[in-house]
Structure 1
């Protein structure tokens, strides 16, 4: 027998376990963007970039979508019954930290070398996360595929900038 009186509280907890990670991703992205502001106007425009470099407006749109996917992914893990969910959350937080520090290493320190090292580590961790959560929640894994593709593309951009500047 299902107790319907407690159901709204249970549903709210599940929703918050998805909403809060999304908000955390946006917050981390916002803080990271504060480290980019000066370099985006005074350094980045003068770099040699590949022809495939998207216009600047594409980046906040892409990251907004990715932050939603990332937050939902870990939120679904939090809502799972897996005994390893704390481990997966730690891996998620590690990738979020690496995501944040890429902005600092590449833009703030204006170092394509440090940025490349950082983004390669990020790529490894996000692939590991996606593969690790697959047996627990396939949707969580699939939600990381666009992120993996975007970071792969960003790695290419970072590597190009390193080579030609």
Structure 2
């Protein structure tokens, strides 16, 4: 593998880890507040949430590494990945740390839209990578519905 490819894979991997780490930090800062909220009856068990996010982040790292190793990651796709990461972290900050549930809802809805745009962009270029990342917008649909329900209940 060329040095440039290794560097791009390293940067991509560290970027995904940074998104996961920042998101986790903001979530942990707000857990006491979050645990005090009324939750909808269809709530996902708390232990499932970090598992799903870990799988999503791992799949993202794998897709980025494969893409960089076996081809060139298009700029548009890279920007969509970055925007999704920014909105993931922003939602964690607004919802958990700042307790701004309305802005959190707006942010997660925008994140869901961006994830669908990202998935469609990926599918248009590489169906295998698209199938791997399908879990991401599906999970955001679930998270968005739960987020909206919590906003209504609280």
> TM-score normalised by the shorter chain: which range applies?
0.7 to 0.9
Q: 1:110 aligns with which of 82, 99, 117?
A: 99
Which residues of structure 2 form unaligned runs of 5+? none
Which residues of structure 1 form unaligned runs of 5+? 1-8
Structure 1 residues 54-94: Cα deviation after superposition (integer angstroms, max 9, x where no partner): 23222221111000112223333334545x71121011101
Query: Paired residue for 2:19?
Result: 28
Q: 1:140 aligns with which of 110, 114, 129?
A: 129
1:110 is paired with a residue whose SS is coil
Q: 1:76 aligns with which of 66, 75, 88?
A: 66
Displacement over 6 Å in runs of 4+: none
Distance 1:113 1:152, change over 3 A: same
Give the whole-Å Cα distance in 1 for the aligned partners of 2:42 and 2:17: 26
* Residues 1:61 and 2:51 aligned together: yes
Distance 1:136 1:161, change over 3 A: same
Structure 1 residues 94-148: Cα deviation after superposition (integer angstroms, max 9, x where no partner): 1111011010111111121111100111011111011012121112211221111
Give the whole-Å Cα distance in 2 for the aligned partners of 1:149 and 1:22: 22
Distance 1:25 1:112, change over 3 A: same
Rg bigger for which structure?
Answer: 1
Count, aligned residues: 154
Q: When you count helix as a share of all residues, which structure comes out higher? A: 2
Give the whole-Å Cα distance in 2 for the aligned partners of 1:15 and 1:142: 25
CA RMSD, Structure 1 to Structure 2 (Å): 2.1
TM-score, normalized by length of structure 2?
A: 0.87
